[in-house]
Structure 1
Amino acid sequence: MTILPKYERHPRELWESVAAAVRLVRRDRPEIVVSTGAGSAALYCAVARAAGAQVVFAETMARVTGPSASGRVTARMAHANLVQWPEMATVYPRARVCRPLLLEDVGAPLADDVAGTLLIVGTHTAPFDRLVQITADAVRAGVLPAPIVAQVGPSTVAFPEAEVHEFLAPEVMSAAIAQAKVIVSHGGAGSLSAALRTGHRPIVLGRAKAHGEHFDDHQQQLMAKLAASDLVVALDDRLGAEHVASALRPLPRPESSTLPSLGDALAEVLDGLGLARL
């Protein structure tokens, strides 16, 4: 496995990532590249495309109504594009629309032995003090069940009532999600998907650009989309007992869809590009 250098849009990181991409393309000589286009991967796709590779771009399920920054670039160079929400067909007119990975396996019953509350703010580098403070206030008001485990990232909000972690290893986070009774989360697609797969209806506050919590408002858009389908409980500026009661209702049964799964659509695209002949 090769890990590309981290790219957070700094000029120095840009050139480091480009140089790493050139080295990898020269070494591996890829004929087909499949990517979500995020960060350094978008730069790798550009270098591979220039070297003759065919590129397949799958926009992240976190994008509901607008493109990601890297998607604006990667989709233009791609031989095929895949999106995961019908609204995105107008953003990428050439794209094939698939069922969102986020909705796969939704509806499993909540385990009988779950207990307590888990707060998840994700791995974004900006603090999410609003969500940490809202959750701490709800705990002090007796709204959220104990024990409390809080993954708070770089936040400095005081939360002595909780077992606080800056970050949790993926396997530890997965176990914590499965064991919690109530999940309070940012609007990250990965966190919400993990919660839904384990039978939770997470209580969600999406990060907002206006508060300096993210580059844009895609988490707000995803939160609204899932709230409209009764799959999450959307927050604004407080967390009350009514939010917890709503979160503990059984999830709705998944709606039937004629759209292909992302896996099936990707397999068809790769077959059309000649993967079987490589």
Structure 2
Amino acid sequence: MPRELRRFVTAPGPRGEQLARDGEDVTILPQYERHPRELGASIAAAVRLVRRDRPQIVVSTGAGSAALYCAVARAAGAKLVFGETMARVTGPSASGRVTARLAHANLVQWPEMGSVYPRARVCRPLLLEDVGAPLAGDAAGTLVVVGTHTAPFDRLVSIAAAAARAGVLPAPIVAQVGPSRVPFPEAETHEFLAPEAMAAAIARSQVIVSHGGAGSLSAALRTGHRPIVLGRTRRHGEHFDDHQEQLMGKLAESGLVVALDDRLGPEHVEAALAPLPRPEASPLPSMHDALASALDELGLARL
């Protein structure tokens, strides 16, 4: 779709900032983290934006503020294509339960999700595209990543810090720790890293210790890493639900990640440094092809 005909609507954060730097037309909606006082502002902003732009087609993962925008745009007559995030393996996202019902077409990225959204087209996971590139020959040190979720991930920071003190993780160590206040003197710590800095840190690191976020895992796999992963959980107050554990388990079954529990030992680092397996060939369509097909069926492929 030509750049002049598209707009990105998203919540505040580094992804929207990167899109704007890339020259895209980006509108930031008020942050909506499921708190009632944020609901009115997000709905009002979505209504203003839809009235201004009159979108014909909305393609979205439907998360947070975007879910509200999707509902308003659908009510105004827009065609809606919903793509469930690749982080969802066995159950729907909270926003997906609503957005999928409103959508004219639904796309999912794991076979198990075909029974969750019966009308959905099952696609190859974006996360597995381009997996298997060799690790850079000059890669060195360790990168620890907790992601951009607003809740601290003290469990992962504590486990990584203990492994660093025991000499398990190769130095130098760079750690993106979010709002955590767990001491980690062995590492160069950052609350957050800009997308360019994160991409560079991933590419140059030998070992990656990560939360179970799909974006972080995808970036690691594309650069030849087998990340050591601890998923955020609801029971520890680290996320809304346990989808990161589900994704971690799915990828561990295929040998693409090293799953952690409560400690990080030399055996985890050894496993992380073994070459990645190539994903098995899949007869399923890519997300790109499935989206193009959905748009064509809706009469919107030439927009």
Normalization by structure 2: what TM-score? 0.91
Q: Which residue of structure 1 aligns with residue 111 of structure 2? A: 86
- Are residues 1:258 and 2:246 paired? no
Q: Tell me, in whole angstroms, the C-alpha distance in 1 between the residues paired with 2:139 and 2:124.
A: 29
Q: Tell me, in whole angstroms, the C-alpha distance in 1 between the residues paired with 2:90 and 2:155.
A: 24
Q: Give the fraction of aligned pairs with identical amino acids, expressed as a percent.
A: 83
1:8-157 matches, within 5 Å, as 8-157=33-182
1:234-264 deviations in Å (ceiling 9; x for gaps): 0000000000000000000121000000000
1:172-231 deviations in Å (ceiling 9; x for gaps): 000000000000000000000000000000000000111111110000000000000000
Normalization by structure 1: what TM-score? 0.99
CA contact (8 A) 2:292 2:301 kept: no
Q: Tell me, in whole angstroms, the C-alpha distance in 1 between the residues paired with 2:159 and 2:35.
A: 32
Q: Which residue of structure 2 aligns with residue 194 of structure 1? A: 219
- Are residues 1:248 and 2:259 paired? no
Letter in 2 for 1:2: T
Q: Which residue of structure 2 aligns with residue 165 of structure 1? A: 190
C-alpha displacement of 1:61: 0.3
Q: Tell me, in whole angstroms, the C-alpha distance in 1 between the residues paired with 2:240 and 2:63.
A: 13
C-alpha displacement of 1:12: 2.0
Q: Tell me, in whole angstroms, the C-alpha distance in 1 between the residues paired with 2:142 and 2:231.
A: 18
- Are residues 1:208 and 2:237 paired? no
Q: Tell me, in whole angstroms, the C-alpha distance in 2 between the residues paired with 1:112 and 1:248.
A: 12
Deviating 4+ runs (over 6 angstroms) = none
Q: Tell me, in whole angstroms, the C-alpha distance in 2 between the residues paired with 1:175 and 1:262.
A: 26
Secondary structure of the residue aligned to 1:212 is coil
Secondary structure of the residue aligned to 1:81 is strand
C-alpha displacement of 1:125: 0.6
Q: Tell me, in whole angstroms, the C-alpha distance in 1 between the residues paired with 2:43 and 2:233.
A: 30
Q: Tell me, in whole angstroms, the C-alpha distance in 1 between the residues paired with 2:232 and 2:113.
A: 21
1:72-95 deviations in Å (ceiling 9; x for gaps): 010000000000000000100000
Secondary structure of the residue aligned to 1:60 is coil
Q: Tell me, in whole angstroms, the C-alpha distance in 2 between the residues paired with 1:160 and 1:141.
A: 13
In structure 2, relative to structure 1, the CA distance for the partners of 1:107 and 1:277 (3 Å cut) is closer
Letter in 2 for 1:210: R
Q: CA RMSD in A?
A: 0.7
1:132-183 deviations in Å (ceiling 9; x for gaps): 0000000111111000000000101000110000000010000000000000
Q: Tell me, in whole angstroms, the C-alpha distance in 2 between the residues paired with 1:153 and 1:218.
A: 19
- Are residues 1:227 and 2:227 paired? no
Secondary structure of the residue aligned to 2:235 is helix
C-alpha displacement of 1:13: 1.2
Secondary structure of the residue aligned to 1:257 is coil
Q: Tell me, in whole angstroms, the C-alpha distance in 2 between the residues paired with 1:84 and 1:147.
A: 36
Q: Which residue of structure 1 aligns with residue 11 of structure 2? A: none
Secondary structure of the residue aligned to 1:118 is strand
Secondary structure of the residue aligned to 2:192 is coil
Q: Tell me, in whole angstroms, the C-alpha distance in 1 between the residues paired with 2:135 and 2:86.
A: 24
Secondary structure of the residue aligned to 1:55 is strand
Letter in 1 for 2:299: G
Aligned residues: 278
In structure 2, relative to structure 1, the CA distance for the partners of 1:277 and 1:171 (3 Å cut) is closer
